[in-house]
Structure 1
Amino acid sequence: MKKLRIGITCYPTIGGSGIVATELGAELARRGHEVHFISYDPPFRLDLKQKGIFFHQVGLNEYRLFKYPDYTLPLAVKMFEVSVRHRLDILHVHYAVPHATAALLARKIAGKKASARPRVVTTLHGTDITLVGNDPKLYPIVKYSIEQSCGVTAVSRDLRAITQKEFKLKKHIEVIYNFYTPRRPRMRRDTMRKKLGIRTDDFMLIHLSNLRPVKRIPDLLRILARLKSHPSIKLLLLAGAPFKEFLPLVQRLNVGKQLVMRENVRDIENYIPAADAGIFTSEDESFGMGMLETMSYGVPVLATRVGGVPEVARDGITGYLYRVGDLKGFADGVMRLARDRALKDRLGTQAAVRARTWFSADAVVGEYERYYYRVLKNC
């Protein structure tokens, strides 16, 4: 098979979709493909020094005529320019709006000139469907962008089912799971715990996310409050957004001594292995990237039984799953693992095996390559 020239557009901020898009681009480049990232900033984890990786920045228009800066049109123009200059085969966009919309416009601008008309592949990650797509003002353009894409993928079977139901789609949606390649820690577990002020015999939970409302951070803090009588239980929160809005609740619940918080951490490979269990209280989750990252380092997870989570984590095998808002259940689960370290270790080992078997680059990236070639043949 010929090596491909692939454009990738994603949100460059911390979040599951951007992380997956960046990791996918890096893996594709390692396999000899030429990968062009197109966005307003370099993605959070993108290594611009890697061979085969290129970045093209989109400038924002801030004309006085426009009340708000426009991104979709400048993005479409940049996609078109990169497609022409580098003869892209595929424009792989993560999020239907505005990315798929812009990609379709770029393809339209190219007209019938084959060398400038890349096939548009859209990957749906969740909130572009469950939140953005349900906005009546955006529903028609989300539906159009999905239907007009040459190929569409979803990160879980649950998300595919929701998308097809909500948008009444007949178009085939391929399920390709997210993946994660754990980097080798550069810091010993005991060294990191000492740096964080965590004692050897403390039981440390970890949560990593962008802190959006759907993550239900107040639930995390209230679970911690239920465990105040066990001061050796701590929570390390790796925040991809400012945490200050939650400080009043931390003070009201009096859990400050149990909480360790770090913002915008890049070297998660040094932090996750220092934890004893991951905890994720989301109201909805199409996949659960932070959960997979945690499992990849042999750390069991406690999570809500929502969306695509049960497709990734297995109740009683990689940790435990609870209904949304079951604070007592979560607290009891934490205590169970804290009191039975052998159980914690066994679940962690099983979590790592599952992550490596089903959600590794070796398992997933080839699926994307095969899908690209099918799209090139059929669109």
Structure 2
Amino acid sequence: MGVLFVTSKSLGGSGKHITALAEGLRPWVRCELAYFPSGVAQDSELESPFSRVHHFPRKPSFDPGAIAADVAFTARLLAQGGYEAVHTHTSLGGLIGRVAARVCRAPVQVIHTLHAYGADEFTPVPQKWVYWAVEKALDRMTNRYVSPSHYTREYGRRTHVIDAAKARVIHNSLPLQPPSERASQRRRLRGELGLAEDETLFLFCGRFEKQKGVDVLLEAAARVAPPARFRLVLCGTGELQPQLMQQAHRLGLGGRVLWAGWQPDVRPYYAAADVFVMPSRWETFGLVFLEAMNYGLPILSTRTQAVPEVVEDGVCGLLSANEDANQLAANMYSLAMRADLREELGANGRRQLARFSYDEFLRSHLALYRECRVVLA
């Protein structure tokens, strides 16, 4: 059977999700991809599992003329036939793919994965109501939803932005392998970074955007009191990096913050770290939490949206209120001072990974696609 994936980008959690899904389904599903290449290394990672890739001929834009052209491009692909389903991802990809399926009247089922809502509680009014109206209209063009968390489906039901009866919860997952050579990687990277054995290494991996709360993390790091000894390593890039570097300088963090940039392979950083920290303002899942659990790292994050569904507070991590730098600092201090607590939370996290089985993730999607084929038959 054939499925056309439509998305707007290769970056972030949605890109990882799509890559993991298409890679695992290759033996049973012919997966093709239509997206906007970003001109970065992640493009090749995203494209690798697909049998065929179609590039939109322009940069992503919400300009009505550009959207109309992208819809026409996608409609032509669908009209060629050979697809039982179009599976859309991200807000722009969901708009283009769902409208294209309606326009071309191709005999395909439309699935949309709810990576996030444009109209969530953090979107300002009146922009929020515009997004709500658009998503409500697109709901009529959608046969099924994949919700990565119970939170995401419940939010859609509570706000009436989608028909929640069409939404199936399929927790995100990744094809994770038990870490190998962790001890040697840990020694090597900590040596390169100049870390003493008694220094706690807090690790952040993600985009430098408002969502990820790096500004709150820097404020918290500046408030961690002695005698706690720590370093904070930030792996990533993003539009806010200049402001964040200025903030770190203003807070006097100096050499305690190490800017590692975007890393094509973050495994050595997970191996070297003692704690993973990402105080997101909003998060409908958070695949990096699974990566951190795989390395036995305790997690510091926030009680926002779906995070408590993935990171159980007091079991595999410590959660603070959204934007609460004081509580985050207290949690950082606790984990910096207590190796026994780090070990306990990290071991629990490894066990928690079983709740997010990659095999079940693939089986559930495959069952969904096969249901689409039955409907069309």
TM-score, normalising length: structure 1: 0.87
Deviation at 1:236, TM superposition (A): 1.0
8 Å CA contact 1:228–1:255 kept in 2: the answer is no
Deviation at 1:311, TM superposition (A): 0.8
* Partner residue, 1:182: 176
Looking at structure 2, the residues matched to 127 and 190 of structure 1 have their Cα atoms a distance apart, in angstroms, of 42
* Partner residue, 2:101: 107
Stretch deviating more after TM superposition (331-340 or 274-283): 331-340
Count of residues paired in the alignment: 366
Choose from 29, 32, 56 the match for 1:33. Answer: 29
Please state whether the residue corresponding to 2:118 is helix, strand or coil: helix
Which amino acid in structure 2 is aligned with residue 241 of structure 1?
G
Choose from 71, 81, 84 the match for 1:89. Answer: 84
Gaps in structure 2 of 5+ consecutive residues: none
Looking at structure 2, the residues matched to 33 and 363 of structure 1 have their Cα atoms a distance apart, in angstroms, of 16
- Aligned Cα root-mean-square deviation (Å): 2.8
1:270 aligns with 2:272: no
For residues 270 and 316 of structure 1, do their structure 2 counterparts lie closer, same or farther at Cα, with a shift above 3 Å needed? same
* Partner residue, 2:255: 257
Stretch deviating more after TM superposition (47-56 or 71-80): 47-56
Which amino acid in structure 2 is aligned with residue 18 of structure 1?
G
1:14 aligns with 2:39: no
* Partner residue, 1:350: 348
1:57 aligns with 2:52: no
Looking at structure 2, the residues matched to 20 and 76 of structure 1 have their Cα atoms a distance apart, in angstroms, of 23
* Partner residue, 2:220: 223
* Partner residue, 2:289: 291
Which amino acid in structure 2 is aligned with residue 164 of structure 1?
R
Looking at structure 2, the residues matched to 309 and 334 of structure 1 have their Cα atoms a distance apart, in angstroms, of 18
Choose from 92, 104, 108 the match for 1:118. Answer: 108
* Partner residue, 2:159: 166
8 Å CA contact 2:22–2:50 kept in 1: the answer is no
Deviation at 1:293, TM superposition (A): 2.2
Looking at structure 2, the residues matched to 343 and 61 of structure 1 have their Cα atoms a distance apart, in angstroms, of 47
Choose from 303, 316, 319 the match for 2:317. Answer: 319
8 Å CA contact 1:219–1:327 kept in 2: the answer is yes
Looking at structure 2, the residues matched to 255 and 14 of structure 1 have their Cα atoms a distance apart, in angstroms, of 29
**Deviation sequence 1:35-74 (CA, Å, 0-9, x none):** 1111011782654785653221101289xxx995854233
Looking at structure 2, the residues matched to 307 and 56 of structure 1 have their Cα atoms a distance apart, in angstroms, of 34
8 Å CA contact 2:2–2:30 kept in 1: the answer is yes
* Partner residue, 1:235: 232
Please state whether the residue corresponding to 1:56 is helix, strand or coil: strand
1:80 aligns with 2:52: no
* Partner residue, 1:202: 199
For residues 262 and 14 of structure 1, do their structure 2 counterparts lie closer, same or farther at Cα, with a shift above 3 Å needed? farther
Which amino acid in structure 2 is aligned with residue 39 of structure 1?
Y
For residues 87 and 341 of structure 1, do their structure 2 counterparts lie closer, same or farther at Cα, with a shift above 3 Å needed? same
**Deviation sequence 1:259-304 (CA, Å, 0-9, x none):** 1112222212222121111112122222122222212221110111
Please state whether the residue corresponding to 1:135 is helix, strand or coil: helix
Deviation at 1:340, TM superposition (A): 2.3
8 Å CA contact 2:335–2:341 kept in 1: the answer is yes
8 Å CA contact 1:93–1:99 kept in 2: the answer is yes
**Deviation sequence 1:112-137 (CA, Å, 0-9, x none):** xxxx4321100111243426796233
Which amino acid in structure 1 is aligned with residue 171 of structure 2?
Y
Please state whether the residue corresponding to 2:173 is helix, strand or coil: coil
Looking at structure 1, the residues matched to 200 and 74 of structure 2 have their Cα atoms a distance apart, in angstroms, of 48
For residues 168 and 256 of structure 1, do their structure 2 counterparts lie closer, same or farther at Cα, with a shift above 3 Å needed? same
Deviation at 1:326, TM superposition (A): 3.0
Please state whether the residue corresponding to 2:128 is helix, strand or coil: coil
For residues 347 and 192 of structure 1, do their structure 2 counterparts lie closer, same or farther at Cα, with a shift above 3 Å needed? same
Looking at structure 2, the residues matched to 295 and 247 of structure 1 have their Cα atoms a distance apart, in angstroms, of 28
Deviation at 1:144, TM superposition (A): 1.4
For residues 270 and 90 of structure 1, do their structure 2 counterparts lie closer, same or farther at Cα, with a shift above 3 Å needed? farther
TM-score, normalising length: structure 2: 0.87
8 Å CA contact 1:48–1:54 kept in 2: the answer is no
Deviation at 1:361, TM superposition (A): 1.4
8 Å CA contact 2:296–2:349 kept in 1: the answer is yes
* Partner residue, 2:141: 148
8 Å CA contact 2:33–2:53 kept in 1: the answer is yes
Choose from 23, 32, 35 the match for 2:20. Answer: 23
Percent identical: 21
Deviation at 1:100, TM superposition (A): 2.3
Please state whether the residue corresponding to 2:140 is helix, strand or coil: helix
**Deviation sequence 1:147-194 (CA, Å, 0-9, x none):** 321111221111111112223544411111111223556771211222
